[in-house]
Chains A and B, each alone.
Chain A
Amino acid sequence: MGYPQKIHPRETPVLSKHFGDAEALTLQGWRARGGYTALEQALGMEPAAITNVVKESGLRGRGGAGFPTGMKWSFMKPGDGKPHYLCCNADESEPGTFKDREIMRWTPHAVVEGCAIAAYAIAAETTYIYIRGEFTEPLREMTRAVKEAYGAGILGPNAMGSGKRIDVHVHKGAGAYICGEETALMNSLEGRRGNPRIKPPFPAVAGLFSQPTTINNVETLAAVPQILTNGAQWYKGLCLGSPKSTGTKLYSVCGNVRYPGNYEVTMGFSFKEFLYDLCGGPPEGRTFKAIIPGGSSVPIMTAEEAESAVMDYEGFVAAGSMLGSGGVICFDDQQNMVKQIARLARFYAHESCAQCTQCREGTAWTTKILERIRDGGGTPEDLDTLLDLAEQMTGKTICVLSDSCATPVVSGIQKFRREFEALIPPSRSRVSTAALANAVA
């Protein structure tokens, strides 16, 4: 749980074990807690063997896409004579998500170690940790931890005496949610506008500076040292449900909930028990109305749907949503869903990079319609228009920001239609220009 709350007995603290423990921040403290033994072990292994361990463990990308990490690493072809790069995606900007922030500001060395192991496995001599500019504390802690690691010879031209070069640089972002998209992150690192790229080419073929690149999330990389130390079977065993979802997930719980914070549970946990038992349920005197389980880009669930869901990749899909980044946003019965969905749309409109027509214009138009409805100026055609726009904004763009704006709109209208309709006076109907022309003629 978020500091200063204590770890709940039903949690499985793997990444969050040392949250709140100031001594774990330093290199010395981290080593005392078993840190860097995994890296030492890794440097004595063949890179391909490390990738196999990660593959076996079933670790999947924790940034939101859930792509199998070991498979992603295996796309990096060894011995191609090209410089390889690892990017650690610490741009955490998905509304509702605040886990990477905690991992970095409490256990920065876990991230450094995870990066180093991954870099060695994919033959990347240079790693960039791209941290969003607003994360003052993580930037400070990660920069300090990297410096400590260099000072101790863990990083540098001769990592831990292995003869291998592992360089890690912290790179500060400057305010753009879209830079969390892996190809936009690479463009931003290169000193460009944070525009996502068309794929193919895929990053493993031509990524950062047109060289083979792997991009992994902070939480994903922080899990790697423990997987190496405790073994793939151990990680696979941390699984209560679908065998395709293994290990633990750090869920960021926020919004209208009694005990907001980060909770680490094994894959396959019951969402109902999670929400009521661990997170304390809704605030005093309120009930849950809506839950978004995986950051604002996944479909909104009704409280009933949430209470029947299983917390893993497959489970959330079966319940009509997605695990995404694991940012659990709770809305109680007092909340105005139209207002909140309008606010989410405004977020996406603000963050659109402006490349694709549907996103650039659609996110702003969607926002304007929703705010007009919110403020009492809605017309009956508006809901159909919104759904139409959402369809045009889905599956047609370079990246999925456009889809992500459409998702809360579609799921919101689908599941909370009455709240929208209540704000739209039935008598007001917009006359189309064609009809008007006919009437006047």
Chain B
Amino acid sequence: MTSPPLVNLTIEGRPVAVPPGTSILEAAKYAGVLIPHYCYHPALPVAGLCRMCLVEVEKMPKLAPSCATAVAEGQVVYVHSEQAREARKGVLEFLLINHPLDCPICDQSGECELQDYTFAEGRKDSRYQEPKRFNPVEDFGGDVVYVPNRCILCTRCVRFMDDVAQDSVLNVSERGDRAVIGKFEGADLTHPWASNVVDLCPVGALLSKDFLNKARAWELDRAASICPNCTQGCNVILETRDNVVVRMRPRPNDEVNKFFACDYGRLNYRWINRRDRVELPYVRATGQLVSTDWDRAIRTAATLLGKGRAFVLASPMLSNEALYLLSRLTRGNGGVGVFGIERGPEAPLPGVEDLALRAERAANVRGAELLGFAERDTPVDEVQAGDVLVVADEELSGADPTAAAAAASRAGAVIVIATTLPAWARDAADVILPITNFAEEEGTFTNLRGRVQRFLQARAGPGVARPSWFVLSDLLAARGERTSYFLASEVFAALAADRAEFAGLSYDSLGLRGAPARAGQFAEAAS
């Protein structure tokens, strides 16, 4: 069936052709024109009430709200005509009359759409002489605090909770200039996805308690990443200040998380900043762990690996690159790879198809499965006498500590590749190789639907810790394998050449949107 013909129109002198039913505001994006707006959001039902997006359309007697007006054949639209600019200037003035002069103390400063548009198109000074409306700050529950004085009543938060979270705990209360966002006592923003209202709020009216007063927007360094906390693989931005991760925010991805991230995911970043890190390589000499240089540590580990079957216990938080190289340790010696997984309650976002906080609380479970690792409830129980136990970034914190120690004593040798040192390893490890965590290196994760997504480095790792793939590459080279991986992309290229599920993918093809592993085989929705 053929699709209906595109509609042709001109926006700011540029021709565009879009499907019928597209709003002028969306069509303008194709023309490379941003029409300033507040209440409109592609993931929410259209409200058309902020009146910021008014544009001039030839032959229409009044300015048209571009978010709520469909394109028509031959339309000529002006976004920056004098009429449209004057209208926007008017909206900005009206928004600012009751708005407090809070920029110096407001978290939104530097990433505030009221600031941005006022700076670009607003009045230079205020002519408002009357007293400003005042309401006290309110705790909306969950991670959200509401500052009514700054609210521009765009109602994005209300529409999100109503339509996307489908938990109508927010309302607009009162009328006229007395209107505020309200709620009912006992019903808070405790919905697992409620924090998204903070991202949606164009101004500093809805703020994250977690981020409150922590850093200025312009002090932050940003890196595109993937949320590590479950298998959904929501795209995020990791924001750091002086090498400390202070915030994790969703990044739009139409195929995975639209514009959203769950509260559990986004607030679970503090572990990235843990200070109790392994910063140096160690080897056991005369019963004691002694710090050493990388060469000696790698050589010692390589020697140990030759002494028996490799039993690799890997964390499903490791990247595809690291897991691939770890799986190569099991070749030629009848080795096995296992992983354990923590689970928690699932929490779907009802208004978005196939988006949920997943029960498996780690980023790369699917990657581990595809790369030859098997899930075990009690992963170390199968360690046999004489095995070379390789524990990669797995603290076994949930497991019985005696089981871990017992497995270690059964094993012929224990190689620990770690970000933080598990307690049992202090007595049991023969070699300790320090690695960076996902935020400190580059790599990819595979989400539950088989989508392979890149994450970029957001902060520097501690001490002389090295990226996991780098360390494993050296280890394999020390075992005699012909590896010379100097970039994560090279490891991925080897992975893609070696494993059919990843055939045809490359860092270039993944970009920052990701791509499905072998389509059809792994992309079906789980029951």
Contact = CB atoms under 8 A, between A and B. Distances in A.
A432 interface: yes
Interface in B150-190: 152-153, 172, 174-179
Contact of B87 (A354, A364, A369, A396): A396
Most chain B CB within a 10 A radius of its CB, from A193, A358, A381: A358
A440 interface: no
A362 B176 CA distance: 10
B228 to A, nearest CB: 41
Nearest to B63: A396
A207 to B, nearest CB: 17
Contacts of A392: 87, 90-91, 93-94
A193 B171 CA distance: 10
A136 interface: no
Contacts of A176: 175
Given A362-B94, A392-B94, A396-B63, A356 B51 contact: yes
Given A354-B174, A396-B54, A434-B125, A372 B130 contact: yes
B127 interface: yes
Given A349-B176, A363-B176, A396-B63, A357 B130 contact: no
Interface string B77-105: 00000000001001101110110000000
A357 B177 contact: no
A352 B175 CA distance: 6
Nearest to B154: A357
Interface string A421-441: 000000000101110000000
Contacts of B48: 198, 398
A397 interface: yes
A17 interface: no
Contacts of B153: 354-355, 357, 360
A360 B177 contact: yes
B59 interface: no
A357 B95 contact: yes
B175 A353 contact: yes
A176 B174 CA distance: 12
A349 B98 CA distance: 15
B204 interface: no
A433 B95 CA distance: 18
Contacts of A357: 49-52, 91, 94-95, 152-153
Contacts, number: 95
A205 to B, nearest CB: 14
A357 B96 CA distance: 10
B128 interface: yes
Contact of B176 (A350, A368, A395, A432): A350
A363 B176 CA distance: 8
B521 interface: no
A433 B96 CA distance: 15
B129 interface: yes
B126 A433 contact: yes
B175 A365 contact: no
A396 B176 contact: no
A16 B68 CA distance: 43
A432 B126 CA distance: 8
A141 B68 CA distance: 42
Contacts of A395: 62-63
A354 B176 contact: yes
Interface residues of B, number: 36
B35 to A, nearest CB: 15
Contact of B97 (A361, A433, A434): A361
A361 B94 contact: yes
B127 A397 contact: no
A360 B65 contact: no
Contacts of A11: none
Interface string B40-77: 00000011111110100000001101001000000000
Interface string B101-130: 000000000000000000000001111111
A351 B130 contact: no
Given A198-B68, A360-B153, A365-B97, A354 B130 contact: no
Contact of A432 (B49, B97, B125, B172): B125
A352 B177 contact: yes
Given A358-B91, A361-B97, A430-B129, A397 B51 contact: yes
A369 B90 CA distance: 17
Nearest to B179: A354
B129 A356 contact: no
Given A365-B97, A396-B63, A360 B128 contact: no
Interface in A350-401: 350-358, 360-365, 368-369, 372, 379, 381, 385, 392, 395-398
Contacts of A432: 125, 127
A20 B128 CA distance: 51
Interface string B383-418: 000000000000000000000000000000000000
Nearest to B127: A385
Contacts of B87: 392, 396
Contacts of A434: 124-125
Nearest to A349: B176
Contact of A365 (B125, B130, B172): B130
Nearest to B93: A392
Contacts of A396: 51, 54, 62-63, 87, 90
Contacts of B127: 381, 385, 430, 432
Contact of A364 (B51, B124, B176): B176
A275 to B, nearest CB: 34
A431 B98 CA distance: 20
B177 A354 contact: yes
Contacts of B63: 395-396
A388 to B, nearest CB: 8
A368 B130 contact: yes
Most chain B CB within a 10 A radius of its CB, from A176, A360, A362: A360
Most chain A CB within a 10 A radius of its CB, from B125, B128, B129: B129
B130 A361 contact: no
A386 to B, nearest CB: 11
B64 to A, nearest CB: 10
Contacts of B176: 349-354, 360, 363-364
Given A355-B49, A358-B90, A364-B176, A369 B130 contact: yes
Nearest to A361: B94
A339 B357 CA distance: 59
B112 to A, nearest CB: 16
A349 B179 CA distance: 12
Contacts of A372: 129-130
Nearest to A178: B175
Most chain A CB within a 10 A radius of its CB, from B68, B153, B175, B178: B175
Contacts of B172: 193, 354
Nearest to A362: B94
Nearest to B54: A396
B54 to A, nearest CB: 6
Contacts of B178: 354
Nearest to B92: A357
19 contacts: A198-B65, A350-B175, A350-B176, A353-B175, A353-B176, A354-B153, A354-B177, A354-B179, A358-B91, A358-B94, A360-B176, A360-B177, A361-B94, A361-B95, A362-B94, A365-B94, A365-B97, A385-B127, A432-B125
Given A355-B49, A365-B130, 20 more contacts: A176-B175, A350-B175, A350-B176, A351-B175, A354-B172, A354-B175, A356-B49, A356-B50, A357-B50, A357-B152, A360-B94, A360-B176, A363-B176, A365-B97, A365-B128, A392-B91, A396-B51, A396-B62, A430-B129, A433-B125
- 3 cross-chain pairs, A with B, having the tightest CB-CB distances, nearest first: A392-B90, A354-B179, A361-B94
